[in-house]
Structure formats: structure tokens, C-alpha cells
A and B are shown apart, each in its own frame.
Chain A
Amino acid sequence: MVLKGKVWKFGDSISTDLICPGRYFHLRSNLPELAKHVLEDADPEFAKKMNKDDFVVGGSNFGLGSSREHAPTIIKIAGVSAVLAKSFARIFYRNAINVGLPLLECDTDKIDEGDELEVDLTTGLIKDTTKGLELEANPLPQAMINILNDGGLVAHIQKHGDFKVV
């Protein structure tokens, strides 16, 4: 599947507090409302500015911090098609795959805000059509490909009745 969209660029160490602030704790059972505040403490206007299918592009250790699955969930609900970063924090990484939000680990230094990207999830090939650049993402572990291909962990368990990751 090839995803196309525009880049919103963020820096290193984008924590789950920046993605899904604790002051909206009371909205966790109202995900569409919570999604209006996605990444608010990294860029207060992000939710208003972005369009469906855009990409979030970060630096290193994207998603560090809490285990709140609400963080990748509201990125997905907001319409972001995938997150690209140099590296991801462990729990965020696993949560994102579980909720069906594609992640691509690659060198994001050359990608700038506003660039248009084409991302092939099958091959991991990333084309920055604004710059004429091609980048390759590190492949996902097979266990995670299995879960993502099933549409996330809930769908994976519903389909197999168990973990089919090995």
C-alpha cells in the first residue's frame, strides 16, 4: 500500500505528554474529543492545520514516556497516515502497531516540514517527491508485520483466537 501526504516535522524526544497531555486525562474515554488535542504541547495548532493522510515526522526516541495507548490512537484518529522517526520508544512502538498506526524507522534529517512523501508500507521505500529523495525504512519485525497486517492486535486475536507471532 502506498501512502501519500504532506510532512509535519517535529524534533527529538516527542513524549507521550506532548502527544496526549495529562491535563486532558478526563477525555480518555472520549477519543474523538481527545484527538482534537493531539500533539498540542509540541505544536498547539497541529490538529487544526493538518489534513487527513498527512505524515508526522520526528527525530530520535519518538513517543518516550507513559504507556498511554491513547497517544498513537489519537494520532491515528486525527487522520495521520504514518509516523516516521529515527527511533521510537519501546512502548509507543508496540502500542502503535497494536492500534494499526504504521511506523517507519529511517533517517529523517533530510525531510522537512511541508515536503510531500510517498510511502510504500510493503517495501519500506519512502520517496520525498519535493526533494527527489529516496529513503529506506528499517523493516518491522515479523511479529509486528503479522499484527499490523491483521489490522491491529484486537483484530489479530479475533482472527486467530491467540497470538500468531512466531
Chain B
Amino acid sequence: MGKTLAEKILTEKSGQDAKAGDIVITKVDVAALQDGTGPLAVKQLQKMGMEKVSSNKAILFIDHAAPSPRKELSNDHKLLREFAKKTGATLSEVGDGVIHQRLVESFAKPGDVVIGADSHSCTPGALCAFSTGMGSTDVAIGMALGKTWMRVPDTFKVNVTGEFPKFVCSKDVLLYLIGMIGADGATYKSLEFGGESIKKMSMSSRFVLSNMAVEAGAKTGLIESDEITRQFLEEQGRGNDFKEIRADVDAAYEKVIGIDVAALEPQVAFPHTVDNTKPVSEAKGVKIDQIYIGTCTNGRIEDLEIAAKILEGKNRHPDTRLIICPASRKVYLEALKKGLLEIFVKAGASIMGPGCGPCVGVHEGILGDGENCLSTQNRNFKGRMGNPEGFIYLSSPATAAASAIKGEITDPREM
């Protein structure tokens, strides 16, 4: 019997024949913490007298509350900086960007095992790294010992076919998939995305699929590495990190799900769960107080380009504020050079420094009571953006940009 991508990577990294259902001890290549989970991780290591780093790469990202809005969080940041100095772990500072975007730009590579104390750590799965989110203690110990334990997941294959209609993108595919299988539809599984549409898809769009795998409950969301992966790594100055990894043709999948994108409408997730998705035609007219374009899901240059295309020469609706946050320093600089930030500023947007921005409810755009936000982020749980009396809708950057102009949820294909 052949192997899925998850079984292949975990076989190599555990040194044993890993089959779905097995418990393995695997090497950890990349261990990542952020400022919301890192302080607890550091304290656990201090408690154990294990303040050391054994994983190939250990990175602490200051991104969730960056720059710090409160003294308590400033002190948490100090703790992370001191730990990095003491152990030799890499520090990603205020303004460097969101953990997941930074991981794919500079750290993770095909075939790696990546663990991050952040649920969207599944993002590097699009580079064909076995990449998953865990809690502070698991990642702390993985970082200190250079290994962790895993149950090898069963795999759902998601076959995506058809030509994308204009202004329909990978975010719409993922929202549609979660609407179909539910927020626990893939709990503990590996999602393996393939099919002709994925083979032609940019890395930027692929990262959206892997990033949101956890929203279906999945442990990881993997994509075979190919020529597009290689080109992406070369653009990051990391061509040598490329390795082609393909699933075996006779790999065993627990389930195969097919999605034809040719007939797909832009999708919108309604409050308060990600699987509460509807086609945009059923969401049209919902008044929006705040639009947020950014995050580890949709804050890349491709996302900002499509938003700029729609917003160029236009103004945001007077009753709708527009917040835009590039996912990393690199994205920010590229947006600056391409003139995208000028388009946004002229359209009435407020531009935030690279980081998580308002997505985690700490700062930079907390909702008022009864307010509606349409965001390109990955999650819309009650209270997510800092106020349980706020309502969060999720969409692609195209739908968000179009809605910013109209002040209500708008089908971007009508712009």
C-alpha cells in the first residue's frame, strides 16, 4: 500500500514505517511560538530547567500584540526577547510580520516537520511540510528536545477541478469546503489538496487552503511540492530548500472530496462559525461597519493586488471604515513599491504595521456593540475581535474590497 503525504513525511522524520493510526516520535525541524503562547511556553521550560533549543530552527514571533498596547504585554515581549538571547532562538520582532507568513517566507521547507503554538501553524503545509498547531507546553518541549509525538493522521483527499471564474479564489473554495463538511468535518485528519486547479494555483492562494485546514478540525493541510513551490522558494532566496514530494498513486484515503470551481460563487461565512457559509448572493445588502483586509490567511501581495484593483480611484463608503494590514515586512515593502498602499490610503483606508492586526481582538480595530465586520481572516467566533457583541463575516479580499466601496456585502463580480 502506498503512502499519503502525511505518512511519507512522518516516515522519514520518525525513522519508522508510519501508517495512519500509528503513534510516532518524530524529529522537529521548526518550532514556533508567538507572543500569545510563547510566554507560557518559556515559563514551562524555566520550570523544568530546560531553557534550551534543539530543533533545527526555533523562532519566537512578536505579532499578535505588536506593537504592544499594554504594559502586561510589553513585559511578555521582554520575556521572549530575553529567552531568545539566552538560548539562541531567532526573534521575529514587532513589524516583521505574522508567524505563518514569516514561516513560509523564511523558515519552513518541503519535508519538514513544523510545530507552532498557534492553531494556524498548518499554513506551511502548502509547501509540503507536515505542519501543525499545538499548545505552549507541547511546542516548548518540542523546541527543547527537538522531537515530539504524533498520531499519524488519516487523510481526506480534496480534488479541486475547473477554471476559477473572475473574482473567485482559493478563499471561496475553502469556505465552501468547510460549509460542506462542517467545522469538525475533518477533526484529526490530514487534508491533502490536489487536482488540476491546485496544480495551476499560486503559492499565495495555496497557503489560504492550508492555513484554514484547522477550521475544518484538521491537523494539517498538505499540498504536493512542485515547480510552483520551487519558484516560490527561489523568490525567497531559498531555492536549495526545494524538494519534490508526491503522494503515492496507491495511497489510501479515508475519503475523497471533489470540488468544481467553475460553478463556484464567492462565499461568505456568517457569524459566529466558519462553517456558516453562504454564497455571496445570499449575503448581499448586509451593512458593514468595518472591513479588514489582511492576516495570515489573506494578507499577501496577491491579496492586496486584487483589493487595490477594485479600490483604485474609488472611496470607501462613508459609514464603513477600512483597515488594511500587510502580513509581513516583505509584503509591506512590495505593496509600497507597487503603489498599492497609495491606492489604499487614497481610498480612505487605515494601514496597520505588519502583524495580526485586529484579528485576535487585542487592538487596532475592536468592534463596537452590534457592529458588523467583514474580514479576510480565517475565524469569526463570537468575541474573536475583542467584543462578544460584535458580528464577524468572512470573505475573500475581492469581496471585502467591493464591500468597502458599497458599505454592504457586495458581489465583487458586479464591480
Contacts and interface: CB of A to CB of B under 8 A. Distances in A.
Interface of A: 13, 15, 17-18, 21-23, 25-30, 41, 60-61, 64-70, 87, 89-91, 94-95, 98-99, 141, 143, 152-154, 157-158, 162-163, 165-166
Nearest to A33: B72
A165 B23 contact: yes
6 contacts: A22-B386, A66-B118, A70-B40, A95-B135, A99-B135, A163-B149
B137 interface: yes
Interface residues of B, number: 58
Contacts of B385: 22
Contacts of B219: 90
A69 B40 CA distance: 9
A143 B47 contact: no
B195 interface: no
Nearest to A14: B381
Contacts of A29: 39-40, 43, 72, 75-76, 79
Kindly name the residue among A18, A66, A157, A158 whose own CB sees the greatest number of chain B CB atoms within 10 A.
A66
Contacts of A28: 36, 39-40, 76
Kindly name the residue among B47, B381, B387 whose own CB sees the greatest number of chain A CB atoms within 10 A.
B381
A90 B188 contact: yes
Contact of B25 (A21, A25, A157, A163): A163
A151 to B, nearest CB: 12
Contacts of A41: 382-383, 388
B110 to A, nearest CB: 23
Contacts of A60: 184
B135 A67 contact: yes
A22 B39 contact: no
B184 A61 contact: yes
**Interchain residue pairs A-B with the least CB separation, the first 7:** A22-B361, A69-B135, A95-B135, A61-B184, A26-B72, A15-B381, A17-B381
B407 to A, nearest CB: 26
B121 A89 contact: no
B135 A23 contact: no
Contact of A25 (B43, B64, B117, B387): B64
B325 interface: no
A100 to B, nearest CB: 11
Interface in B143-171: 145, 147-149, 151
Contacts of A21: 361, 383, 388
B92 interface: no
Nearest to B70: A26
B141 interface: yes
Given A23-B383, A29-B72, A91 B48 contact: no
B48 A87 contact: no
Nearest to B79: A29
A35 B244 CA distance: 47
Nearest to B385: A22
Kindly name the residue among B25, B79, B149 whose own CB sees the greatest number of chain A CB atoms within 10 A.
B149
Interface string B63-76: 01100001011011
A64 B133 CA distance: 12
A65 B386 CA distance: 15
A23 B387 contact: yes
Interface string B105-128: 000000000001111010000000
Given A98-B135, A166-B23, A64 B361 contact: no
